[in-house]
Amino acid sequence: MSIDKISYDTLIPNNVNLSSDRRVLKALEQWHPQYIDWWKTMGPDGFQDAEVYLRTAISVETKGWAKFGYVKMPDYRWGILLAPQEEGRKIPFGEHKGEDVWQEVPGEYRAMLRRLLVIQGDTEPASVEQQRFLGATAPSLYDLRNVFQVNVEEGRHLWAMVYLLQKYFGRDGREEAHELLRRRSGDKDAPRMLGAFNEETPDWLSFFMFAFFTDRDGKMQLESLAQSGFDPLARTCRFMLTEEAHHMFVGESGVGRIIQRTCETMQQAGIDDPFDTEKIRQLSVIDLPTIQKKANLHYSLSLDLFGSEVSTNAANFYNASLKGRFKETKLTDDHRLDNTTYPVLKLVNGALTMVDEPALTALNMRLRDDYVDDCARGIRRWNKIVANNGVEFEFKLPHTGFNRQIGQFANVDISPQGEILKPNDWQIARNNFLPSTDDGEFIALLMRQETRRGKFAEWIAPPKSGVDNQAGDFEYVRLS
């Protein structure tokens, strides 16, 4: 099918009147084949011809926004959908608080906004690249379908940012859209922009942890951008959040099912000590301390995504009314933060100390605090699974200073319990804090593809219910 014959209104579900926007159409027509090339080379490896039971966003109605059906992933209908425009919406925060929201980009904020869109856009294809080999070791057709669902939706999130760049940033936007497909996760010369998106996702436990911790950063950042005075961005992010909920479900329930399997297997074998890892591993399940170490890793990598605790960038984004706080409109203060402070954990004379900082520059810290609370709620649900199985073990979030590369605690050796360690102590204890090479090798041994209908790998429990209420032996992926 030649690109100029495509009816974009039928190919790309959209509520932005795409077919009558000649200029954007032309830019998309150039970008689209590049995107498909990228998807075929960097997307799910070995499954481009498989028919996958996927949900596709087709509208922004609360009911019926998605439809389910079999598609080959390269034929997925990546849509451009913005949450409905709110009549009379006012800018909720910053220097422009109370003014009408902007439908065009204010000239003075062009560079800042472009940077925010590019950083957000860069993470989406990065995650697809990180996850591209997981299909080879999928524990079931159900899980295989779920990773592909997450992948196509991250692809759609890239489309969302590319649309905004092309619609509102002209030539610069087209160049950025091109660059978004050129950078590659983990590439030496052209890496992705943020640290966590250049890490590997070597196994399914890492994938689930990533979806739990890193997609949750996505949720927090999107919530902040959904407050934006630039209305097209706010509306775009609001709709992206409806998909994000599923990504976190995949992560939380994935880890939860691994915990469930480990605990029930220990019980059946009469193993009481969760730290008797050798015995537990002989049963082909992942011991809980190793799961904790994976959580430590992905949590600390994700905390880095909030940037420095004290940041003038963050203050500028807020003052410019471009990026707000989590639940901005529900907060009851002046929404300007001129003369207020916020407590920030810092290293002062070698000790961890709370210091009051101007609330404006502490916005990254504040969003990170909201994130930590959100993570803690998920951890409590994992601990319920452990307790319900009668195992004595408790998952804990490590200290926010643990294993950090960005901000106050970059290059300070802090244990998961929050003690500042002496230089050698970190090296000695490292393998108790973070997954070791041995842990990785053990997990890799368990990762074998299971594609029989209704069957699951031995290290993970089946889900409580199927996707779209399908039966347990539903063929979520038809392999070609």
With CB under 6 A as the rule, give the number of residues binding ligand BYC: 25
123 binds ligand BYC (CB under 6 A): yes
343 membership: H or E segment, kind and range: strand 341-348
Rounded distance, CA 232 to CA 452, Å? 44
Is there binding between residue 319 and ligand BYC (CB under 6 A)? no
For the record, the structure tokens of 428 come out as 């000695």
Residue located via tokens 């409905």: 84
Q: How far apart are CA 155 and CA 91, in angstroms?
A: 29
Smallest distance from Fe ion to CB 222, Å: 8
Span near ligand BYC by CB under 6 A; candidates 20-28, 121-129, 271-279, 292-300 = 121-129
Q: Which two tokens stand for residue 290?
A: 């190793």
Closer residue to ligand BYC in complex, CB, 51/217? 217
Element (H, E) at 113: helix 110-130
CA distances from 376 to 243, 249, 395 (A): 22, 15, 10
State yes or no: residue 218 binds ligand BYC (CB under 6 A): yes
> Rule CB under 6 A: is residue 341 a binding residue for ligand BYC?
no
Question: Do residues 117 and 161 touch, judged by C-beta distance below 8 A?
Answer: yes
Give the helix, strand, coil percentages of the chain, each rounded to 5: 55, 10, 40
**By CB under 6 A, residue 253 contacts ligand BYC:** no
In the complex, least distance from residue 125 CB atom to ligand BYC, rounded to whole angstroms: 9
Nearer to Fe ion, 122 or 287 (CB): 122
Contact status: 149 vs ligand BYC (CB under 6 A): no
Minimum distance between the CB of residue 448 and ligand BYC, rounded to whole angstroms?
26
Residue with tokens 């160049």: 175
Query: Distance (Å, rounded) from C-alpha 366 to C-alpha 377?
Result: 17
132 or 261: CB nearest ligand BYC: 132
Per CB under 6 A, which region of 301-309, 390-398, 422-430, 439-447 contacts ligand BYC? 301-309
Stretch that binds ligand BYC, among 170-178, 183-191, 214-222, 453-461 (CB under 6 A): 214-222
Nearest to 165 by CA among 110, 235, 242, 205: 110
Nearer to Fe ion, 121 or 407 (CB): 121
Nearest to 47 by CA among 149, 125, 198: 149
**Site for ligand BYC contains 306 (CB under 6 A):** yes
Question: Using an 8 Å Cβ cutoff, are 234 and 228 in contact?
Answer: yes
Residue 306 is given by DSSP the state G
Tokens of 417: 């319990």
In the structure encoding, which two tokens stand for residue 17, read together? 């009147």
Shortest reach from residue 154's CB to ligand BYC, in Å: 5
As measured in angstroms, the least distance from the Cβ of 406 to ligand BYC is 5
Q: Which residue is nearest to ligand BYC (CB)?
A: 307
CB atoms within 10 A of CB 347: 15
Q: Between residues 85 and 313, which has the closer beta carbon with respect to ligand BYC? A: 313
Question: Which residues of the chain form contacts with Fe ion (CB under 5 A)?
Answer: 124, 154, 157, 215, 218, 247
Site string for ligand BYC, 168-207 (x = CB under 6 A): --------------------------xx------------
- Is 408 a binding residue for ligand BYC by CB under 6 A? The answer is no
Single out the segment in contact with ligand BYC by CB under 6 A; choices: 86-94, 217-225, 339-347, 429-437.
Answer: 217-225
Does residue 209 touch ligand BYC according to CB under 6 A? no
Q: Which of 216, 279, 287, 268 is nearest to 247 (CA)?
A: 216
List Cβ<8 Å contacts ≥24 apart for 355-358.
357/309, 357/310, 358/315
Smallest separation (angstroms) from ligand BYC to the CB of 7: 30
> What is the layout of strands, in order, in the sheet containing 51-57?
66-72, 51-57, 477-478
The site string for ligand BYC over 361-400 (x = CB under 6 A, - otherwise) reads: ---x------------------------------------
Residues at the interface with ligand BYC (CB under 6 A) = 116, 119-120, 123-124, 127, 154, 194-195, 214-215, 217-218, 221, 304-308, 311, 313-314, 323, 364, 406
